[in-house]
């Protein structure tokens, strides 16, 4: 079973500051969004622009791309039996991981929370409509 979240929770305001800068153009995304499995994610907030992956074995399991345990400021490698599905449109908390996920559009790679340089080529193959660029 996929991740669950309380839809009746209180309104939260996240002031990470870069949400409107990271997503340069929204083309298309997963309708209705998805609840992320955030078990093992090290921070309280998953920031806009974070790469989102899904399980090949469970179509309901979506989660943030893991970060390197030795350096939480870099993406780790794509786990086995997972694939890229897009990027997070707006920041969410671990307590309410209700994610809007974009798979077509422009992402400001310099404002993204973590560098996509090591995975950009593979993501372009899987998600050709998702473009990483900057001013």
Consecutive 10-residue runs of the chain (135 residues): their mean pLDDT?
62 67 97 96 95 97 95 92 98 96 97 94 97 92
Give the DSSP letter of residue 2.
-
Is there a domain that residue 56 lies in? yes
Judge whether 21 and 108 are in contact, CB under 8 Å.
yes
| φ, ψ (nearest 5 deg) of residue 96 | -140, 70
pTM: 0.89
Structural domain that includes position 41? 23-126
Element (H, E) at 102: strand 101-108
Is there a domain that residue 14 lies in? no
- pLDDT for the residue numbered 28: 98
Structure-token pair, residue 80? 């086995």
Is there a domain that residue 67 lies in? yes
34-35 and 67-68 beta bridge pairing? unpaired
Is there a domain that residue 97 lies in? yes
Is there a domain that residue 13 lies in? no
Is there a domain that residue 96 lies in? yes
Is there a domain that residue 49 lies in? yes
| Total number of domains in the chain | 1
Is there a domain that residue 16 lies in? no
């Amino acid at each position: 079973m996929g991740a669950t979240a309380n839809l009746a929770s209180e309104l939260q305001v996240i002031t990470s500051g870069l949400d409107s800068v990271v997503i340069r153009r929204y083309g298309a995304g997963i309708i209705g969004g998805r609840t992320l499995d955030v078990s093992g994610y090290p921070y309280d907030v998953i920031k806009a622009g974070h790469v989102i992956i899904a399980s090949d074995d469970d179509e309901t399991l979506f989660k943030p791309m893991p970060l390197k345990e030795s350096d939480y400021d870099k993406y780790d490698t794509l786990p086995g039996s997972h694939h890229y599905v897009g990027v997070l449109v707006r920041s969410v908390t671990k307590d309410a991981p209700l994610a809007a996920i974009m798979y077509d559009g422009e992402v400001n790679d310099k404002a993204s929370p973590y560098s996509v340089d090591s995975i950009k080529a593979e993501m372009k193959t899987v998600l050709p409509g998702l473009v990483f660029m900057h001013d």
